[in-house]
């Protein structure tokens, strides 16, 4: 019985590892390129404006910024807008102009 279990384990481990690798390879492009809701041809980050500049502009507009992150080469902002609505918005990191999003 013990021999059967060790043989079974030696078969299951490579299959499980292969499944994990397949899943990682499937998800990698989505993680590398963002959600797909917006993309920016933004060039190297050295040419980007600081996130703090965008946060300042939005705060002056009446937004409460919760988080800014990079997604799809854009700045993705999670905030509460001037009307009190939760917002997920995208901005071009060089110009800080709003970027239209694709619908799901």
Distance of alpha carbon 94 from alpha carbon 79, whole angstroms: 20
Contact 75, 52 (CB under 8 A): no
Q: Is the pTM of this model over 0.85?
A: no
Q: Is the pLDDT of residue 26 over 50?
A: no
Distance of alpha carbon 41 from alpha carbon 95, whole angstroms: 11
Q: How many percent of the chain have pLDDT more than 90?
A: 56
Tokens of 1: 């019985």
Distance of alpha carbon 90 from alpha carbon 92, whole angstroms: 7
pLDDT band at 25 (very low <50, low <70, confident <90, very high): very low
**Average pLDDT estimate for 62-82:** 97
Candidates 85, 86, 88; CA nearest to 77 is 88
């Amino acid at each position: 019985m013990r021999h059967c279990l060790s043989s079974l384990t030696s078969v299951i481990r490579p299959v499980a590892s292969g499944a994990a690798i397949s899943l990682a390879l499937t998800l990698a492009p989505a993680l590398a390129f963002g959600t797909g809701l917006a993309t920016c041809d933004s060039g190297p980050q050295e040419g980007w404006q600081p996130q703090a500049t965008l946060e300042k502009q939005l705060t002056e507009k009446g937004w409460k910024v919760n988080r800014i992150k990079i997604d799809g080469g854009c700045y993705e902002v999670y905030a509460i807008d001037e009307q009190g609505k939760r917002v997920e918005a995208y901005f071009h990191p060089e110009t800080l102009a709003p970027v239209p999003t694709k619908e799901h």
